[in-house]
Amino acid sequence: MDQTASPAPQILVESLLAFWADAGVDCLYQDEATDRIAAGLTLPPRRPEPPGAPGGAAPAAPAAMGGAQAPTADAVALARSLAAEARDLAELAAAIGAFEGCALRYAGAARQAVFSRGPADAPVMIIGEGPGAEEDARGEPFVGRAGQLLDRMLAAAGLTDRVFITNTVFWRPPGNRTPTPEEQQVCAPFVERAIELVSPKILLLLGAASAKAMLKREEGILAMRGRWFEWKSTDESLELPAMPTLHPAFLLRQPAAKKKAWSDLVSLVQRLDRPERPH
């Protein structure tokens, strides 16, 4: 007879929940489980063709939640116009809060837009990917576990109160997924206006999604981290040194990578505090 005791069902459930919590899963889409395999075997009912659409012409696209979603180009143009009118960070935050051109406003965010934290004249601007559940609840970026780790690293590097922190998008993506390039493109004029208003000396880009969006490059974060690039504004009137590094959320999952992120921070501080050459 096998004397090995099987784990109690409660222990198995607790272990599974702990695994998903460590992976960043903090919400459920449904209260009841759905058999996706069985559902996939059933063909959905055919939608009736709209009146006046001969030969099965494609129906008009449905309206997005919260009103009709403007095409990306129109949304970008609107964002650029609103961002340009902002004379300071407070007005920029208000413009972002009122902006309805990003689908994330209706798809992921539960409460509010999440813009920034940090002094308005900080010499370093940190740009992450997007807010999570804790950030959505509190209205500030990087205040959850990843943000707490980031703050400890910044303090150790002597950068406390020397950084302005924001993201490439200002509403939480559903399930904390990575924001899409289209979502980042719509929010980009606000990010660029924030850079203009803060006028930092250096940009620190956290994670692959941020680095790719800001630098218009396709390399992975492990290939880009620790290297210096030049970020340019859309009209190329503004140019700043930018360094990609590993996202704090990744460091929570891979603690051994903290050494690489720390090396990046040391390099940034050395460049930031380097005496300016005389003209």
pLDDT, tens only, 72-116: 899 999 999 999 999 999 999 999 999 999 999 988 777 899 999
> What are the backbone dihedrals phi and psi of residue 245, each rounded to the nearest 5 degrees, phi first?
-150, 175
CA triplet 119, 215, 180: central angle to 5 degrees? 90
Give the pLDDT of residue 111: 80
What are the tokens at 182? 């289209």
**pLDDT of res. 67:** 39
Placement of tokens 């150790």 in the chain? 156
pLDDT of residue 261: 98
CA angle 192-114-257, nearest 5°?
80
What pLDDT is stored for residue 165 in this prediction?
Answer: 98
Q: Residue 71 has what pLDDT?
A: 64
Taken in order 231, 232, 234, 237, the sign of the CA dihedral is positive
According to DSSP, the residues that pair with 242 across neighbouring strands are 203, 229
Judge contact between 173 and 179, C-beta under 8 A: yes
Q: How many CA atoms lie within 13 A of 164 on its CB side?
A: 21
Place of tokens 């920034």: 116
The whole-angstrom separation of Cα 114 and Cα 136 is 6
pLDDT attached to residue 54? 41
What are the sequence ranges of the domains in the chain?
72-272
Q: Going by DSSP bridges, is the β-strand pair 163-167/202-206 parallel, antiparallel, or unpaired?
A: unpaired
pLDDT beneath 50, residues of the chain = 1, 4, 40, 43-44, 47-70
- The CATH class of the 72-272 domain is alpha beta
Phi first, then psi: what are they for 75, rounded to 5°?
Answer: -65, -40
Q: How far apart are CA 261 and CA 269, in angstroms?
A: 13
Hey, is 120 helix, strand or coil? coil
What is the distance between the alpha carbons of residues 105 and 125, in angstroms, rounded to a whole number?
24
pLDDT, position 108:
74
Per-residue pLDDT tens digits for 216-226: 999 999 999 99
Extended strands (E) in 85-185: 124-128, 163-167
pLDDT at residue 222 in the model: 96
